[in-house]
Each structure stands twice: as C-alpha cells, then as structure tokens.
Amino acid sequence: MNERNNATNQLRMKLLPRLACKGIISNKNVYYPYLAAGSFSVFTYFVFASILHNDIIKLMPKSAYMWIMLKLGKGLLSIILLIFLIYANGFLVKRRRKEFGLYHMLGLEKKHIGAMMFFETFLLYAVALCGGIIFGVVFSKLFFLLLLRICRMPAEIGFVFEPAAFRETMVYFGVVYLINYMGSLWEVGKARPIELMSGSKKGEKEPRFLWFYAMLGVAALCGGYYCSVTAQVDTMIFMNFFMAVFLVIVGTYFLFTSGSIAFLKWMKTRRKIYYRPKNFITVSGMLYRMKKSAASLSNICIFSTMALITLICTVALCVGLDGCVHFVYPYDLTMAYVEEKVSEQDVMQEIEALENKYGLTVKRVDVYDEITLDVKKTENRFEMQTGESSADEYQIDFLVQDDYNRIENRSVSLAENEALMYCSGKDFGYDTVDFFGMTLQIQEELDGFFPHSKADGNTYNARYMIIVKDKAVRDACVRAWCGVHGVEDTGIFIDSDERQRVKLLLEGEDEKKKALLEEFSEWGQSQPGFENLQNGVDWRENNQITYGSLLFIGILFGMIFFMCLILIMYYKQITEGYEDRNSFGIMQKVGMSDKEIQGTVHRQILMVFGLPLAGALFHTMAGMFMVKCLFAVISLFDMQVFVGSIIGVSALFAVVYGISYLITAKTYYRIVRQG
C-alpha cells in the first residue's frame, strides 16, 4: 500500500512541472502581460543597479550628487515594484482559483498544488529575470549615455557591466517572487475546495458604515487638496507634500469604495433615472460588484495621477533645466574683498589679457561695494530676525547710487530720503520702506537687475537690493540695523562688513570659461584683501548633474507608472468581462439585443474608465500648487514652461487613455460575447 502511494506521489510530482507550464500557457491572456511587466520591472531595476555598481560613476568628477539621487531612486523603485508585483500576482491567483479547485477534486492535495505553484513561480521568475537582464544588457549603456547627456557630462566614458548588478537584481526579484509564492500558498491554503471551485463568483459584501466612510473620503480628499493649495516654500514643504499625498490616496480609496456605492444607492432612489432599461442594467451591475471594482478603480486613479505628475515634472524640468541652474547663480565668477580693495583698472587689464589669450568675450564685469544684512520683512517694514520661521526672512544688499548708475549705465538721481528697490521675487509693492525706524521713499521699484532674474514665485531664495544716494545714507541704515541688534555704533562693523564684489559674466564654451576663470581666480586670490570666491560655472555644473539625475529618474519612473497603469486597466477589464459573461448570456436569453448589450457594455466601461481619469485630472490640477512650490526649491519659475507642460502632458495622457478605452471596450465585449 505504501509502495503504491509512493509511486502515485512520484507520478504526481513528475506531472506538476508539466501542469505548471500548461497552466501558464492556458491562461496566456493574463500570464503573458504579467511576464512582460515582470521583465520590464527587472529591466528598470537592472539599469539602476548597473549604473550604481559601475566604478566609472565613482571615478567621474562631481558624480557624488548623481550617485546619491540614483541611490534614492533605486530604493523608491524597489518599494513600488514590490507593491505592484504583489498586486498583480494576487490577480493571477484569483483567476486560477477555480482551476486549483478542480485539481483538488481530481485528487491533487494542497501540497501538490503548492508544489505546482512553486514551479510556476520559479518559471515566471526565470523568464522575467532572463528577459529583463537581456534587455538590460542591450539598453543599459544607452540609458547610461542618456544620463550623461542629461547631466551634461562627457559621454566618452566606457561602461562595464559589474557582476554585483546581476547578483543584486537576482536576489531582489528572488525575494519578490518568493513573497508572491508565499502569498499564493496562503490564498489557496486557507480556502476550502468548494470555495476554490466557486472561483471569483462569490459576491462581495457591501461596506459597513457606508456614508461615514464616504464622508471620511471627502474630508481626506479636501484635506489633501488644502495641503497642496496652501503649500508654502518653507522647512515644512516636504512634510506637507507627503501629508497631501497620503490624504489624497486615502480619500480616493474611500470615495471609490464607499462613495461610489453611496452614489449608486442614491441613484436607485431616483425612480425616473433608475427605472429605465439602460440605467437599470448599468446601475444594478455596477452596484453588485462595486466594492471589488472600486479597489481597482482607486488604483487606476492613483497610478494615473502618479504618471501624470511624474511626466509633467519630467517635461517641465527637461525644458526649464538651463533656466533654473542660471537663476540662482547668473554670474560665472564672484570674488569678495574686505578691508583692502582691488583696483577696477587692474581687474579690467587682467580681463582684457585673458580675453585675447582664450578667445572669449567677457560680457560683463561688475565691480562695486555692498553691505549685506539679514532682516525679517513685515509688510513694508524690515525688522530683526526672530529665528522662529524662515518664511519672511531675507537678505538685503545695500548699494550706492554711483555704483548702480555705472553698472546699469543709468543716470538716476536720489535724494537722501529716497531709494530704489529691487527684489528677485515678488515686487515690494509699497511707496515707502521702514528700515529699522528709518523711512525711505521708493522712487522706483526696479523690474530687473541684469543678469539677475526675477520671479514672483521666488520666496525661497529671494533677495532684496536697496540703492541709496551715497555711503552716508547707507551707513545710517546699517547703524539703525546695528542699534536694534545690539552692535556698538563705532563704525568698525560697517568697515568690516563692507564687501567689494568683482563679478564676471563670460560668453563662450564652458571648457574655455573654466580655463579663463581658473587663471583669473589665481590672480584675484593673490590680491590684498581677498576673502572668497564662488565659481558659477562649477556651481551650475553641480546642479546640472543633480537636476539631470532627477530628470533621468523621472523618465524611468514615468515609464514604470504607465506600465503599472496599463496592466491594472487590462486586468480590470478582463475581470469585468469574465464576471459579466454569464450575466449578459442571461440577458440575451431573456430577449436583449446585441445592440442593447453593447450599449450597456460601453456605458459600464466608460464609467470604469472615466471616473479614474476625471479623478486623476482633478488630483493633478490640485497637486500642481504643491509641485510649483517644489519647483521653487530648485529655482524653476518659468510659468510658461510649467503651464505648457501641464496642458501638453494632460492632453496626450487623455488621448492615450482614450485609445486604451476603445481597445479595452472591444476586448471586453468579445469576452462577454463568448458566453
């Protein structure tokens, strides 16, 4: 008897790998898209791992910013892929429940089904891993060159595949598929055979406390929108961002799961609307399975929002990258001198010699004195900083009339109680300024101060510049500041805090600029009174690398989110089709025409597709207030680029979404007709 049982078990074990392959092939309409998504997931992860493990990254100059951004991006990517692949695997198991129940009825024990599922999982893992790594090997170098191109780094760099990238990818996805396998075992193991045989036909219970959760969803969504619309560029910006995202996700889930059912139940009470053949079938069908549908709809809405915002940010950053790196540091070089000053004539002679040597044009040389003070702004008053909040804290640069006229080639004439005002952010907007008790009339508020750019949304790095008649007026303002700050009025502070600025703006190639600036910097540092220098070319290059890395991550994440969205939509409609097939078969038998059935199908799919799209567009529009603040942190203020990116990406996304709707409607109807 034992020998017979052993022989039977051995036969079963030999059949299991064959059954695993047959199960995948027989269910190719759900497994093949899952394999494609798995391969693409492996591909994107392998691209990140290959770049990060490549020694070239560590040896490249100024690549530390890039490495940090890519490391953070890979960590976030690993979380997103884990959640998505677990979600997709859950759908596969539910689609196979009836088949597993049939195997059990035919004599396979749950341990045999578990072994078969192990072979399936291993096969899926092996195919996805091989496919993703093959594509990764082919395209990783291309993506690496794209990264270098975006970051404006030299592309003449070899790219070597590191074994560590292969190992890390294999281990990570091995863990992911192992988690999926354990989840599948739990799903099948806890179910009784009769539950497996019923497949996914078991009706879903209506959520409890329907109106409470619906109202909670509305409150959460309004809270998320409020966080976004009222966001300010301050130390809490990132905390507010994550709070807004959390509240919008919670609100979306509750509105789709409870709010949608509450709305459909309300429609049932509207007799003039509900008791029409078209509406009766649509509302009744959607209400019956809305809890199951709502979870997918909320996922579609959330992934659509993520895809939209990621693509909008990517496009805007791509177009506005040059502008944002030049906004904060428009000069190519700034040197500061204190106590002793360099001769402007000596500066010009040195510049002329270097112009001829390097074949560059020096577009602008500004040499002037200024004093910079830290202040807090309240309406038209500048007061002492309290340190409680940085929202209204600024720096003010004081210049005198003669320096301003020489720099800007103007002939402004100021009285002792008059001043010119310039702000790199929003206009000051007052006729007078109260500076620590001193009142100055604003003769003119300047629209620009070349080469500094001006943007109303610039609150994070905004600076004020006040031009007064002469040093006597300037020193009086400084003494007023000193009095409030408890600094003794001896004139020593004024002398020690006055800086002579030497600023250069060149025209030409960056490599030539670097050579000229290096030689000029050596000369400048050798002059008496030299304090420090800031190289704008290097600074912009560093930020170009940082922002370019963000752009590269945005491109890959946009692709990932769109893949997740398409697969969820596809699985959603297949589920709907198979669930509705029997129902529409009954409708045909009771006399409904194909035209009526097709009209019902289109209305239901339009609802399924339209609600998430509408929700995603609303979420995106609300989220743009927050995104605008986040862009302000990196000094991207070009509203024309920002608005153009929103309109262009949203329109293109809606078109692609609509095409998916048309394709899915045909697939859905074909499945329904098979019943």
Phi, psi of 367 (to 5 degrees): -125, 120
Q: How confident is the model at residue 402 (pLDDT cuts 50, 70, 90)?
A: very high
- Lowest mean pLDDT, pick from 140-154, 404-418, 555-569: 140-154
Confirm whether 143 is domain-assigned.
yes
Q: Taking the C-alpha atoms of 43, 45, 50 and 51 in order, what is their torsion angle to the nearest 10 degrees?
A: 120
The predicted structure's pLDDT at residue 582: 63
- Rounded distance between C-alpha atoms, residue 510 and residue 292, angstroms: 58
- What is the sign of the dihedral through the CA atoms of 240, 242, 248 and 254? negative
Confirm whether 453 is domain-assigned.
yes
Confirm whether 254 is domain-assigned.
no
Confirm whether 411 is domain-assigned.
yes
Confirm whether 550 is domain-assigned.
no
How far is the CA of 237 from the CAs of 229, 504, 618, 628, in angstroms?
12, 34, 21, 11
In Å, the largest CA–CA distance within the chain is 114
Greatest mean pLDDT among 280-289, 468-477, 580-589, 656-665: 468-477
Domain count, the chain: 2
Confirm whether 635 is domain-assigned.
no
Contacts within 8 Å (CB) and 24+ apart, 63-67: 63/153, 63/545, 65/542, 65/545, 65/546, 65/549, 66/147, 66/151, 66/545, 66/546, 66/548, 66/549
Domain boundary among 507, 535, 561: 507
pLDDT digits (tens, 9 = 90+) for 305-362: 888 888 898 888 888 888 888 887 889 999 999 888 888 889 999 998 888 888 888 8
pLDDT digits (tens, 9 = 90+) for 435-463: 998 999 999 999 888 777 888 878 777 88
pTM of the model: 0.77
The predicted structure's pLDDT at residue 415: 92
Q: Which residue has the higher pLDDT, 139 or 461?
A: 139
pLDDT digits (tens, 9 = 90+) for 30-84: 788 888 888 988 988 888 888 787 766 665 555 565 677 677 778 878 888 888 8
Residue 488 has pLDDT above 80, yes or no: no
**H or E segment to which residue 212 belongs:** helix 210-229
pLDDT digits (tens, 9 = 90+) for 208-223: 667 787 888 889 999 9
Q: How confident is the model at residue 125 (pLDDT cuts 50, 70, 90)?
A: very high
The predicted structure's pLDDT at residue 1: 46
Confirm whether 416 is domain-assigned.
yes
Amino acid at position 139, single letter: F
- Let me know: does 261 contact 213? Beta carbons within 8 Å: no
Residue 581 has pLDDT above 70, yes or no: no
Q: How confident is the model at residue 203 (pLDDT cuts 50, 70, 90)?
A: very low
Q: Could you tell me the residue range of the domain that residue 399 belongs to? A: 361-507
The predicted structure's pLDDT at residue 465: 92
Q: Six-digit token pair at 42?
A: 């492996």
- For residue 366, list its beta bridge partners: 503
527 — alpha (psi -120 to 50), left (phi > 0) or beta?
A: beta
Domain boundary among 202, 230, 245: 202
**H or E segment to which residue 367 belongs:** strand 361-378
Confirm whether 573 is domain-assigned.
no
Domain boundary among 450, 482, 507: 507
Q: Six-digit token pair at 393?
A: 């804290």
